[in-house]
Amino acid sequence: MQVAPTTEELLEIHGRIRACVACRLHVTRTQAVPGYGPVEARIMAVGEAPGEKEDRQGRPFVGAAGTLLTELVESIGLTRRDIYITNTVRCRPPGNRDPQPDEVEACSHFLDETIALLRPDVILILGRHALQRLLPESAGITRFHGQRVVRDDRVYVPLYHPAAALYNGSLRETLFADMQRVRGYLDEAEAVRGPRVRPEHAVSQREHDQLSLFAL
């Protein structure tokens, strides 16, 4: 049995992200998009960068790609409330261009801190930018999708980015097939580690939402 970190610890990281001016993306953002999900999440998804809707709403994966991500999560018996979702960079690149290497580098420590705090069993790597950041030595999504890489006692699974599968039926089928493998990886991790419990002083998800809004 593992004890989950507290929501306050997660919100402390979120607060620093919202105030961050470490790269040029802070100039053009409406707001930073730190991430969203419960502290006891055993599964985490890391995408590329916030898009226009995410920049406006302050939450990751709220557009069409977010809807597909929800379907993927639900296809393995979970809900969006079971997964912590974030991005490689936390501020929207203007015009949805690719994040630049120095921007990814400037934002890196936030992702490292979040992973270290949440200690997820499985990390879904959504698309090539997240793959370059988390497994830079890997062969690429096309060859590598759905396979697991164990690093620091944690399972990483590269997947096609949901946005790439929106208008590509074959990629969509591949994504759903890969998610079934993720279900197996999660079950294996849970069998080894046991259930995760919330600390007694942790606040609820509803309180988390309120605190997140308040922190905006």
Rounded-to-integer distance, Cα 158 and Cα 215, Å: 32
Number of residues that bind ligand SF4 (CB under 6 A): 14
Does residue 90 interact with ligand SF4 by CB under 6 A?
Answer: yes
Rounded-to-integer distance, Cα 8 and Cα 202, Å: 8
Q: Which is nearer to ligand SF4, 65 or 91 (CB)?
A: 91
Window of 103-111, 127-135, 160-168, 204-212 that interacts with ligand SF4 by CB under 6 A = 103-111
Q: Which is nearer to ligand SF4, 96 or 147 (CB)?
A: 96
On whether the CB atoms of residues 40 and 204 are closer than 8 A, the answer is: no
Does residue 103 interact with ligand SF4 by CB under 6 A?
Answer: yes
Does residue 141 interact with ligand SF4 by CB under 6 A?
Answer: no
Smallest gap from residue 105 Cβ to ligand SF4 (A) = 9
Non-local CB neighbours of 14 within 8 Å, separated by 6+ positions:
34, 35, 212, 215
Binding residue for ligand SF4, selected from 10, 106, 155, 163, defined by CB under 6 A:
106
Does residue 164 interact with ligand SF4 by CB under 6 A?
Answer: no
Tokens 């974030």 identify what position? 86
Window of 77-85, 100-108, 116-124, 187-195 that interacts with ligand SF4 by CB under 6 A = 100-108
Pick out residues in 10-39 that bind ligand SF4 (CB under 6 A). Answer: 17, 20-23, 25-26, 32
Q: Which of 186, 88, 98, 86 is nearest to 136 (CA)?
A: 88
Smallest gap from residue 129 Cβ to ligand SF4 (A) = 12
Does residue 72 interact with ligand SF4 by CB under 6 A?
Answer: no
Q: Which is nearer to ligand SF4, 85 or 107 (CB)?
A: 107
**Interaction site with ligand SF4 (CB under 6 A):** 17, 20-23, 25-26, 32, 89-91, 103, 106-107
